[in-house]
Chain A
Amino acid sequence: MTTTGGAAVKAEPWKDPAAKPYVQVDRITKSFGDFKAVDDVSLKIYKGEIFCLLGASGCGKTTLLRMLGGFETPSAGKIFIDGEDMTGVPPYERPVNMMFQSYALFPHMNVEQNVAFGLKQDRVPKLEIQERVATMLDLVKLGDFAKRKPHQLSGGQRQRVALARSLVKRPKLLLLDEPLGALDKKLREHTQFELISLQDKLGVTFVVVTHDQEEAMTLASRIGVMNHGEIVQAGTPSEIYEFPSSKFVADFIGSVNMFEGKLIEDEPEHVRIGSAELGGTIYVSHGISAPPEAIVWAAVRPEKIFMSTAPPAGTENMARGAVQDIAYLGDLSIYLVKLPTGKVVRVTQPNTSRHAEAITWDQQVYLSWDATSPVVVTR
């Protein structure tokens, strides 16, 4: 599982211990009174990455982003950007630009003036400003809207102005706070790919804050999942999805069936879990590190469960239940199957055929999965 998301980083520098991180967050803590918004976070972000900070609201992701931008001062710890210590460096002297969640476009300036603002501030020669602004507006396809005021633009256009304004200064690092939050679903999907291609073209390093796991999966080269001010897991989208390190991550990213059980066999290359919730045993073809008889959870993704009317071979990794509910989503269907133990299991099946033998309500079905599918988490 080494494929990355859509991001431009193909080389995976985070696996190379000799690679120099572009942004280094070193044991950062930010407290507001007694509340620790960010709690002892360390991170290394490499050049050209799209790093997503993913978490529910209030998990500290925006505070961490604001500390990178210089809008909050860390209570403890240091931030290095391109090897330089950013302690005490104000926002206007950082090689960083930020795209705000509200876009924060200047309402008294038109699109062109908004985009040119940062360059004028740096006293870039007039001709160069004109040229760079025009190029940037073309890049975000807003060339025809240069003279419009922000309130005359749609949400998607404003988003692009904000992006152009933060990119035109050619920052080494671009911070994006919920960049697509205000857009509707279709536009959001479209813009995600635009963002990726733009990032690819300009070679800027992105740090994106989002609460939308789908957005994080599409955009990110790596995701840092945050909870209660801590980064609970950082890795590529597929690592996070396929190998969540905790119940929280497994549950937060996508949907998952969690079977609680006791470790009954613990070998280096496989484990066996007796699960009362499942009413059977789960065989997993990878080892874990946990004391014998420990309470663990086997996480199985809905799309990795096979559903059939005929009993599968073998006695492990299977269960029998009745279809309680079906949700038809077009490309796939979600089945909720109730086991005799009372546990409801979520199964998704692609609708590959138009006239498939339909499994219907209250039907008895068998569920099964491969030994490679479950992930065992201990917390």
Chain B
Amino acid sequence: MRRFGVTGRGLVVVLPYMWLLLFFVVPFVIVLKISFSDIDLAIPPYKPLLEWVGKNSLAIKVNFNNYAFLFTDRLYINAFLNSIKVAFISTVLCILVGYPMAYGIARAKPATRNVLLLLVILPFWTSLLLRVYAWIGLLKANGVINNLLLWLGVIHEPLNMLYTPFAMYVGIVYSYLPFFILPLYANLEKMDWQLLEAAEDLGCRPWQAFYKITLPLSRNGVLAGSMLVFIPAVGEFVIPALLGGPNALMIGRVLWDEFFSNRAWPVASAVAILLLILLVPFMMWYQSVQARETAGAR
């Protein structure tokens, strides 16, 4: 190996970077390139950026129209805003549902804790698509939930749940909950529970101790989990499409339509790039939270 100037250590570092270059940077550059090109009725359906004009001159044609177009049509702005709204509400719901779960797991006995953690991870053993389809079966008019409620006599006619925002939120929260629970659990698990006893000793009721000690100390876990829900939820496509019905206007859906239905690759690419730019601050925030969390552990 030495002979070729590559050490084992170097290889270990190089391999993941090669992976990132090949499957992340290169596709990104391609998408970026397409977002600046003109649409064309060809295969692929866009014009090249570089063109030979005359014998010895190469012209670069950068087209900003695709981006400009996104701001002229309210559809795109609304889709962006709606995606952020849906992602935000989903994140809040995940916090409300996931915090007690993570807390319960962290405070359970070690044996129980492993079982509970397994239950959190278990859904990953089946494909997301199958699980979302399962929700259709649960939520539809003659589905499991409606039938059960009818049989119990709680309702007299089926509830209209499928293809509503409700179904969409159920699907998103259900799918992303583990991503919220796991980082928060990792944070809570490190906590010294004696701090709560110390707080009670100094005059706190249990809920005050939670509010003044547990909550501030788990802040980084909550932030990390929230980012892991919020960032992918903004671009979520499958769940709103399957459960949310036709009115669920999300940016992922718009992107899909532009790309596959309209074959407007340049516009679709511009949407993708804008989405990325929108999410970069959140990703950077997540990174800094993670860095703080690791530093705090020491």
Taking the nearest CB of chain B, how far is it from the CB of A107, in angstroms? 7
**Which B residue's beta carbon lies closest to that of A123?**
B203
Chain A residues whose C-beta falls within 8 Å of the C-beta of B216 in the assembled complex = 108
Asked if A97 is an interface residue, CB under 8 A from chain B, the answer is yes
Beta-carbon contacts of B184-219 to A below 8 Å, as 1s and 0s?
A: 000000001011011111111100100011001100
Instruction: Tally A residues with Cβ within 8 Å of B.
Output: 22
Is the Cβ of A97 less than 8 Å from the Cβ of B201?
yes
A102 to B216, CA, bound (A): 20
**Which A residue's beta carbon lies closest to that of B216?**
A108
Q: List 14 A-B contacts (CB under 8 A).
A: A92-B202, A92-B203, A92-B205, A100-B194, A100-B197, A106-B195, A107-B217, A117-B199, A117-B202, A117-B212, A118-B203, A121-B204, A166-B201, A169-B202
A69 to B201, CA, bound (A): 8
Asked if A104 is an interface residue, CB under 8 A from chain B, the answer is yes
A121 to B206, CA, bound (A): 12
Is the Cβ of A104 less than 8 Å from the Cβ of B205?
no
Is the Cβ of B203 less than 8 Å from the Cβ of A102?
no
A97 to B202, CA, bound (A): 7
Is the Cβ of A169 less than 8 Å from the Cβ of B203?
yes
Partner of A102, one of B192, B201, B202, B212: B192
Asked if A91 is an interface residue, CB under 8 A from chain B, the answer is yes
Taking the nearest CB of chain B, how far is it from the CB of A111, in angstroms? 15
**Which A residue's beta carbon lies closest to that of B208?**
A121
Partner of B201, one of A91, A105, A106, A107: A91
Taking the nearest CB of chain B, how far is it from the CB of A237, in angstroms? 28
Which residues of A approach B to under 8 Å, CB–CB?
69, 71, 90-92, 96-98, 100, 102, 104-108, 117-118, 121-122, 165-166, 169
Smallest CB-CB A-B distances: 4 pairs: A118-B202, A121-B203, A104-B198, A91-B200
Q: Kindly list 11 other residue pairs between chains A and B, CB separation below 8 angstroms, not including A91-B200, A118-B202.
A: A71-B197, A90-B200, A90-B205, A92-B205, A98-B198, A104-B194, A105-B198, A106-B195, A117-B202, A121-B204, A165-B202
Which residues 151-203 of B sit at the A interface, judged by CB distance below 8 A?
A: 192, 194-195, 197-203
A117 to B205, CA, bound (A): 13
| Most B CB within 10 A of own CB, among A71, A91, A118, A166 | A91
Beta-carbon contacts of B243-264 to A below 8 Å, as 1s and 0s?
A: 0000000000000000000000
Is the Cβ of A91 less than 8 Å from the Cβ of B197?
yes
**Which B residue's beta carbon lies closest to that of A96?**
B201
Is the Cβ of A92 less than 8 Å from the Cβ of B200?
yes
A90 to B198, CA, bound (A): 13
Chain B residues whose C-beta falls within 8 Å of the C-beta of A90 in the assembled complex = 200, 205
A104 to B204, CA, bound (A): 15
| Most A CB within 10 A of own CB, among B194, B199, B202, B204 | B202
Chain A residues whose C-beta falls within 8 Å of the C-beta of B199 in the assembled complex = 106, 117
Chain B residues whose C-beta falls within 8 Å of the C-beta of A166 in the assembled complex = 201-202
